[in-house]
Amino acid sequence: MKQKNILISTCLLGNPVRYNGTGKRIQHPLITKWQSENRLIPVCPELAGGLSTPRAAAEIWQYDGNDVINGHARVINNEGKDVTDPFLLGAQKALAIAIEKHCAFAILTERSPSCGSHFIYDGSFTGNTVKGMGVTSALLEKNGIQVFNQHQLEEIDGLL
């Protein structure tokens, strides 16, 4: 049986790919263990979708990633530009990588408009969050890949 791999947000490995040119490294013994087992498959959906670092911050206005996928919501950056298309393309590319690399789970960065899995910013650029998923998390979950955030590593360990 093939090893179950784990898709992971590139920024969680410390790579400076976030909108503001920073990373968001998590240091945890399980990350070290999974790296040594070659289980971690890094992806940054926003870069995969054609955006670059640094980039304007973006948020989903009022709704969540499921609504973006269904065409009922848009992703807008803080300069007022509609960036829905690169977000959707990045989500599709992340899904394709997850399938190709046999990822059963994903660890994605909470609150991101791409990678959030429980909470996202509410679209007002005021730091407020609401319950909801980012665009990539929503697409992965729709396709049977369970998404966790960076604070749920032990839960995944129990499922491998």
Q: Report residue 44: phi and psi, to 5°.
A: -115, 105
Could you give the CA distance from residue 66 to residue 139 in angstroms, rounded to a whole number? 7
Count of positions (residues) in the chain: 160
Is 10 an interacting residue with respect to ligand SF4 (CB under 6 A)? yes
**Cα–Cα nearest to 11, from 132, 86, 107:** 107
Q: Which of 6, 46, 104, 121 binds ligand SF4 (CB under 6 A)?
A: 46
Q: How far apart, in whole angstroms, are the C-alpha atoms of residue 40 and residue 13?
A: 10
CB nearer ligand SF4, residue 21 or residue 102: 21
Among 73, 103, 107, 115, binds ligand SF4 (CB under 6 A): 115
Instruction: Tell whether residue 110 is a contact of ligand SF4 (CB under 6 A).
Output: no
- Residue 17 near ligand SF4 by CB under 6 A: yes
Per rule CB under 6 A, is residue 137 in the interface with ligand SF4? no
> E strand or H helix at 6, and its extent?
strand 5-9
With binding defined as CB under 6 A, does residue 109 bind ligand SF4? yes
Q: Is 112 in the site for ligand SF4 (CB under 6 A)?
A: yes
Angle, vertex CA 81, rays to CA 55 and CA 11, nearest 5: 30
Task: Rule CB under 6 A: say whether 114 interacts with ligand SF4.
Answer: yes
Min dist CB 145 to ligand SF4, Å, is: 15
